[in-house]
Amino acid sequence: MKKTPLVVFVIFLLIVGCHSESSKIKRKAIGEISKTSKLVPVKTMADAATILSKKEVPILCYHQIREIKASDSEIIKTYAVTPAAFAEQMKALSDNGFQTILPDQLRDYLLFGEPLPPKPVMITFDDTREEQFRLGAAEMNKYEFKGVFFIMTVSINRPNYMSKEQIKSLSDSGHMIAAHTWDHLRVTKYEGLDWDEQLVKPKKKLETIIGKPVNYFAYPFGLWNPKAITEIQNRGYEIAFSLSSKRDTINPLYTIRRMIVSGTWSTPGVLKAMESTFDK
């Protein structure tokens, strides 16, 4: 059938109208997407100099929580804190407004400039001692404090040391489980297969126990060297903790400093040491 000029004109109007309406819909959709879409900023990691320039967080290091006898050696008197002293120190931290942080927060503060609480402190425990669970964690729970437990895996389930169930319980309740080698051999002596025996196997064992990644490590005796830093990095650890020695200027995240809380310190002495954290 031959179309008349009027019919052709009507069809033309319908086509133009549909196209116009479709364009409006597309423009509106694009506009809505633009309003709702937000670009996710890419975080820039700080370099070593920037990390070293940041104020250090006081990190307390405990080993044993037990009564001290007059016959105990000077080493025991240094590394052991009585239950009463530990309880007094935790109360003092709470009374003075300190808030505990965990390694994830420390990493984000150092690397990305994320904020920390006004008075941060990290509480850490070495060597897997059973009283750290029974006395230490129980005392910290009174103040909703969370700590970091560096586990020496050779000692798990042995008398006077933590069981797998206790380690899992700590993790499930918000504490951090981290690695402290297999048998406390200092990293400066490692050769060949020692790196996997002391770094990889303990990491995997702890991850199996708690069902979470284990990303943090503490050096036995606080001793480290540049080779150890490289090996620890290559095995998936994000931060390594030493004691109060100088930090590495190239990889400061792998020489985070801690202070051993001595059994000879008074509670005011602990607070004073924290106020002047590593001011040297």
pLDDT in tens, the chain (280 residues): 444 544 444 344 444 454 555 444 444 444 454 444 456 567 899 999 999 999 999 999 999 999 998 899 988 888 999 999 999 999 999 999 999 999 999 999 999 999 999 999 999 999 999 999 999 999 999 999 999 999 999 999 999 999 999 999 999 999 999 999 999 999 999 999 999 999 999 999 999 999 999 999 999 999 999 999 999 999 999 999 999 889 999 999 999 999 999 999 999 999 999 998 765 4
Cα–Cα distances in angstroms (integers) from residue 270 to residues 83, 91, 138, 208, 276, in the given order:
15, 12, 20, 36, 10
On whether the CB atoms of residues 231 and 251 are closer than 8 A, the answer is no
**In 159-176, which positions are buried (b, 16+ CB within 10 angstroms) versus exposed (e)?**
eebbeeebbbebbeeebb
Q: How many CA atoms lie within 13 A of 225 on its CB side?
A: 6
- From CA 125, how far away is CA 109, in angstroms rounded? 22
How many Cβ atoms from other residues are within 10 Å of residue 238's Cβ?
A: 16
Q: Please report, for the chain, the start and end positions of each structural domain, with discontinuous segments joined by +.
A: 1-38, 48-275
Which residues lie closer than 8 Å to 150 by C-beta, 6 or more apart?
A: 124, 125, 126, 127, 178, 179, 180, 217, 218, 241
Q: Model's pTM, two decimal places?
A: 0.85
At position 88, the amino acid (one-letter code) is E
Among 244, 163, 277, smallest CA distance to 210 is for: 163
Q: Tell me which of 3.90.1150.10, 3.40.50.150, 3.40.630.40, 3.20.20.370 is the CATH number of domain 48-275.
A: 3.20.20.370
* DSSP state, residue 184: -
